[in-house]
Amino acid sequence: MPDSPSLTHTLVLVATRDATSLTPVDIEVARDLVRGAAPVTLSEGEAVEIACPAPETWDSPGIGSVRAALAERALDVLVTPAHNRRKRLLVADMDSTIVNCETLDDIAAHAGIGEKIAEITRRSMNGEIEFESALHERVALLAGRPVSLLERAWQDVKLNTGALELVRTMRANGARTALVSGGFTFFTRKVAARCGFDENHANTLLTRGDTLTGGVGEPILGPDAKLAHLKRLVKEEMLDMDDAMATGDGANDLAMLRVAGAGIAFHAKPAVRREIGNQVNHTTLRTLLFAQGYRADEFVTG
């Protein structure tokens, strides 16, 4: 028999804790497909890692083969190079990634025009219409509305499970963390403070007195700006792009997800899932730590 391929990569399996648990059968199915080593437990019943050859050497091509074999299970499957797994930079989207909502849609809901704006958001996040024009179109519909809508929308914002653990664990291990959103600074400042992000960047809603003007400050923070912030942080921290993790759910995140050493689509829109191989479709932001080889007992929660 030929020599076994070098185990240059790591496959990570993660179960949705409140729905199911990893079983020995799940693990063996995945291990056989990738010709992997013995599994290492990261969280009992929740997450394991399996050293394996590069995906192009697997008997069944690609990460999709493992997902397909486990399609009936609420599991996420990720594969990363074994080298340099623990990233030293995190750049994260906010809406529907770090928090559980689209904050502009929530503002619109409180203004009584939620459905109209939500449909534009859906098309923009799936890459069907250009981000900047969609942002201008949505914000223009808020002209003349009270600024107090922002605070009302903030009361609806909840952190996604694992957000605190992700940011605080990476920071505790020396990583720089940045929240970079196509949303608004009113929300990113609050979310960044709650999670402990080192910095945050977003768009600015223009106001006149206590009223929204329907305008957005320039320049618009869209896909190119997200990528620019990622590149800036890599340079400032004297890192390589391979040292960076980026995560997001929408088409405006694709530019940074494509180039980061670990670009992970989080409960992403179809256009994003078609392009980004590493995906969290079932589980939580805890999975981004498991992908880096952290054990659950290493997570920082406070």
Q: In this structure, which amino acid lies at residue 225?
A: A
Q: Report the C-alpha gap between 288 and 273 in whole angstroms.
A: 16
Plot region of 214 (φ>0 → left; ψ -120 to 50 → alpha; else → beta): left
**DSSP-derived pairing of the beta strands 176-184 and 199-203:** parallel
Burial of 221 (0-12, 13-18, 19+ CB in 10 A): buried
Cis check for the bond before 219: say yes or no (omega within 30 of 0): yes
Assign 3-state DSSP to the chain and report helix, strand, coil percentages, each to 5.
Answer: 40, 20, 40
Q: Report the C-alpha gap between 9 and 257 in whole angstroms.
A: 19
Which residues belong to the active site?
Answer: 93, 95
**DSSP-derived pairing of the beta strands 211-216 and 75-81:** unpaired
* 8-state DSSP, 297: G
Q: Report the C-alpha gap between 53 and 113 in whole angstroms.
A: 51
Q: Which of 198, 4, 252 minimizes the C-alpha distance to 90?
A: 198
Stretch (H or E) spanning 69 = helix 63-69
